[in-house]
Amino acid sequence: MRLLHTMLRVGDLERSLAFYTEVLGMTLLRRKDYPDGRFTLAFVGYGDEAHNSVLELTHNWDKPAYELGTGYGHIALEVEDIYQACEDIRSRGGRIVREPGPMKHGSRVLAFVEDPDGYRIELLSPV
C-alpha cells in the first residue's frame, strides 16, 4: 500500500491553484471538470503521482466556501532552509501565520503558512 493523495475542498479553484503552484512551488499534474456533477478535480504536487503523494483540490461549483471544522490539522512539507522558505513564500504573497522557531518539546524548527481557504501547511526543517 501507499498513500496516493490528500483531498481538500476549495472555494475558488483558480486562487488555490495559484497558491499551491506559485507560492508553494507545486506543479499542476492534472485537472478535470465533471459538468454533470458540477465539480472540478485538480491534482498538484512536487512530483509525478506514480512516485509521490499529491494533493487533490476539489472545487464544487456551487459552493464558494467551507468551514474547516475542528478535526483538520495540517499538511506538512519539509524544506531545506525554513527561514528562506518563509521569506520566499511571503514575497510571493503567502501568509505566514507562525514564524519559524523551535517546536515545543522538540528540536526541529517549524513554521506555518495558511492557504487561501484557511488550511494550514506546516513547514519543517530537515531532521
At 74 the pLDDT is: 95
Question: Does 85 lie in the same domain as 120?
Answer: yes
For residues 60-74, average pLDDT: 90
Look up the domain containing 90 and give its range. 75-124
Is 14 one of the annotated active-site residues of the chain? no
Tell me if 42 is assigned to some domain: yes
The total of structural domains in the chain comes to: 2
Of 67, 78, 80, 122, which one is the catalytic site residue? 122
Same domain, 81 and 40: no
pTM over 0.85: yes
Summarize pLDDT for 34-46 with one digit per residue, the tens.
Answer: 999 999 999 999 9
- Residue 113 included in any domain: yes
Residue 107 φ/ψ, nearest 5 degrees = -115, -10
C-alpha dist (Å) from residue 6 to 9, 43, 49, 54, 105: 10, 10, 12, 7, 28
Q: What is the CATH number of the domain that holds 106?
A: 3.10.180.10
Confidence at residue 125, expressed as pLDDT on a 0 to 100 scale: 93
Kindly state whether residue 69 falls inside one of the protein's structural domains. Answer: no
Q: In this structure, are 84 and 118 located in the same domain? A: yes
Q: Residue 79 corresponds to which cell in the numbers above?
A: 524544506
Contact 77, 124 (CB under 8 A): yes
